[in-house]
Amino acid sequence: MKTIKQAVAFIPSNESRGARRERRALQEITVAGREEPFWKKMGLLAGDEEGPDATTRQPFGTHSFKGPHRLHPAPHRASTMTFAAAYPFLTESGLGHEGTYIGSDVFGSGAFSYDPWVLYEKGVISGPSIVIIGTVGTGKSMCAKSLVARSITLGRKAAVASDPKGEWVSVANAVGGKVISVGPGRSTRVNPLDAGPRSRELSNAQWQAVVRQRRRQLLVALVSLMRQGVPMHPVEHTALDMALTEAVAANETPTLPMVLEYLLNPSKETRELVGPEGGRAVAHSLRRTVSGDLEGMFDAPSTVSFDADAPMMVMDTSALIGASEQALSLAAACGATWLEAAITNPDGGKRIVVYDEGWRMLADPYMLVKMSEQWRLARTYGIANLLIMHKVADLNEIGDSTSGHRQKALGLLTEADTRIIYRQKHDSMSLTKDALGLTEAECGQVEELPKGVGLWKVGNRSFIVANEVTSDELTVFSTDHRMMP
Ligand SMILES: Nc1ncnc2c1ncn2[C@@H]1O[C@H](COP(=O)(O)OP(=O)(O)OP(=O)(O)O)[C@@H](O)[C@H]1O
Ligand SMILES: [Mg+2]
């Protein structure tokens, strides 16, 4: 029997049609045990209808290598095992039909559904966290919105912890969710020192300790944010702690102005411990949260409550567009702490927690600690964190490659067991490749992906998925209104 190499290597220069047919038939026979050649079945090679010999035929032209001697490069052959490693998205058989419909598997030609909890149960992923990364306008938010809105119809819930553009408001309204809009001129007040719903699993003492710890962490973070990272003195920690204790003793749910009041006018006991001026500098740092550009947002008892039964809650901070970086960070810390108190409750049901434009949060040390905690405890609380960002290179702004902060932020990306990569520019690819563990072939695909199509890395499986949205969904999810005539 002739081998493929022989059959392909000798293509007579004046081959008649009949002779060509015969030669091709022979080639097909040589692929023993297959009804049709593997390249036809898999559609792998360019011009795949032609088979491997197509790769040897050069087009006519100046650089066509046509000469007295014909060039016959050997066709590229590889086992399906090799293809599965290099082109995993081509050889996938799908994740099954359970879960939320996302769209179609471009190479698998079937429907693609996804649900982090179902896949966790099946052992496909070892954690429910999701990262969506891609350049501007490629369809990241659209993908997250369709996942969230459709998951809600299947009984899941959602909370949007960061919505700096206010684009999730229409989604919440469409699915019967609630929106909490904070910002200058908005009437809503959110008290970041709220205790949040209590978990049934915790005793009274445990619950008080959890709430106290959360409040203390927030206060320290707010002071650090104001001081741009300059650490607090031990005496200041004590002063802040005493002020918090006294505010809680006077009022079960204290507010930031109450704590500030105890810092500015310390009790006799506090004065003896830290001196009359011990807490004064901390008080001045904290003052910005109750006056200045954040006045009237986080400085009074909450006028809204977290509705644990609502399918979706959105923390809309779009009114703060244009505010200083510091104000945005303070607002993010207050808003996210309030939301975290409500969602980190094991009785709260399965919930997707979205951080849109998440790089801003990653850049903030306090938010990063909070997010890392939430990533770690996701399974305990039944939440699936979904972080959306543009590129891994955004983390460069956090610090150099040796910085602990940056390593921690990178850890959130690498630890996410579901990584959805939308189109990336060539110069961003090497960082993305390393951080998200892409193969060369996957990188090649990612650079070419059209809008709305993403590479899904789910555990160690890989798919190229076109996110399909209906025209009604498009009206609600689109962010292009202002770009249209
Ligand atoms: N799957 C899709 N089907 C149809 N249109 C889409 C799809 N994905 C995105 N689009 C269109 O592209 C626009 C931008 O999408 P989207 O807001 O999701 O981008 P993005 O990646 O989140 O951008 P940004 O980085 O600016 O947040 C949408 O408003 C919509 O019109
Ligand atoms: Mg977006």
Find the ligand nearest to 476 CA.
1
**Ligand 1 pocket check: which of 479, 480, 481, 484 to mutate, most ligand atoms within 8 Å of Cβ?**
479
CA of 140 to the centre of ligand 2 (A): 6
H/E element holding 103?
A: strand 100-105
pLDDT number for residue 30: 45
To the nearest whole percent, how much of the chain has pLDDT over 90?
Answer: 27
**Which residue's alpha carbon is at the smallest distance from atom 20 of ligand 1?**
137
User: Could you identify the residue written with the tokens 């392909």?
Assistant: 8
CA of 70 to the centre of ligand 1 (A): 49
Backbone dihedral angles phi then psi of residue 384, each to the nearest 5 degrees: -120, 110
Per-residue pLDDT tens over the stretch 281-324: 899 888 878 887 778 888 888 888 777 788 999 988 888 887 77
The terminus-to-terminus CA distance of the chain in angstroms comes to 66
Q: Which residues line ligand 1 (CB under 6 A)?
A: 134, 136-142, 390, 451-452, 467, 469, 474, 478-480
pLDDT number for residue 136: 92
User: Which amino acid is residue 97, in one-letter code?
Assistant: H
**Ligand 1 pocket check: which of 102, 104, 141 to mutate, most ligand atoms within 8 Å of Cβ?**
141
Strands 461-467 and 100-105 come out as antiparallel
Find the ligand nearest to 139 CA.
1
Which among 376, 305, 384 is positioned nearest to 339, based on CA atoms? 305
Backbone dihedral angles phi then psi of residue 213, each to the nearest 5 degrees: -60, -45
Per-residue pLDDT tens over the stretch 195-239: 877 777 788 888 889 899 889 988 988 888 888 767 888 999 999
Q: Which CATH class for the 100-189+307-483 domain?
A: alpha beta
Domain positions in the chain: 17-77, 100-189+307-483
Q: How crowded is residue 480: how many other Cβ atoms within 10 Å of its Cβ?
A: 9
CA of 423 to the centre of ligand 1 (A): 12
CA of 137 to the centre of ligand 1 (A): 5
pLDDT number for residue 483: 55
CA of 218 to the centre of ligand 2 (A): 28
Backbone dihedral angles phi then psi of residue 92, each to the nearest 5 degrees: -75, 145
**Ligand 1 pocket check: which of 142, 357, 482 to mutate, most ligand atoms within 8 Å of Cβ?**
142
pLDDT number for residue 249: 92
CA of 138 to the centre of ligand 1 (A): 5
SS3 assignment, position 355: strand
Low-confidence ranges of the chain (pLDDT < 70): 1-13, 23-24, 26-76, 80-81, 83-86, 90-93, 109, 229, 345-347, 399, 401, 481-485
291: its two tokens: 């006056």
